[in-house]
Copies of this chain bind each other. A is one copy, B any other.
Amino acid sequence: MVDDDVAALAETFRLLGDPNRLRIVLSCLDGPVGVGALADRVGLSQSLVSHHLRLLRATRLLKAGKAGRQVFYSLPDCHVRDMLTNLIDHMTEPHDHGTDAENDDDGRDDGEVRLR
């Protein structure tokens, strides 16, 4: 995987890393939503939503469709939806210590932050 692909991938992740932007994407899971309705649902100003939508569109995390003077946004393909559900699964998953080749001798392998 080339350096440039990693950057693009990171950029996509970065966009989803903002809570407001993520809420915008999640609000589009049910189907196409207009910009005004989006602003209402996530409780943000129309301007801010539009700014975010521009970025989400650029990375193709959302696609836009016009109908009259309204613009509806929705998910472009199933990968985005699958990825979201995957990460949600990951977070709701209970601590599972699965297959780790390297095991420490004292048996405490949890990634908890140690304070002195």
Chain A positions within 8 Å of B, measured between CB atoms, are: 1, 5-19, 21-23, 26, 31-32, 54-55, 57-58, 60, 62-67, 72, 74, 76-77, 79-80, 82-83, 86-91, 93, 95-98, 100-107, 109-116
Contact for A66 among B67, B77, B104, CB less than 8 A: B104
* Given A10-B18, A82-B82: 13 more A-B contacts, CB < 8 Å: A5-B91, A6-B26, A10-B21, A10-B22, A13-B87, A32-B101, A58-B113, A63-B112, A64-B109, A66-B109, A74-B100, A76-B98, A77-B90
On whether the beta carbons of B116 and A12 are closer than 8 Å, the reply is: no
Interface contact A67-B103, CB-CB below 8 Å: yes
Alpha-carbon distance A66/B105, docked complex (angstroms) = 8
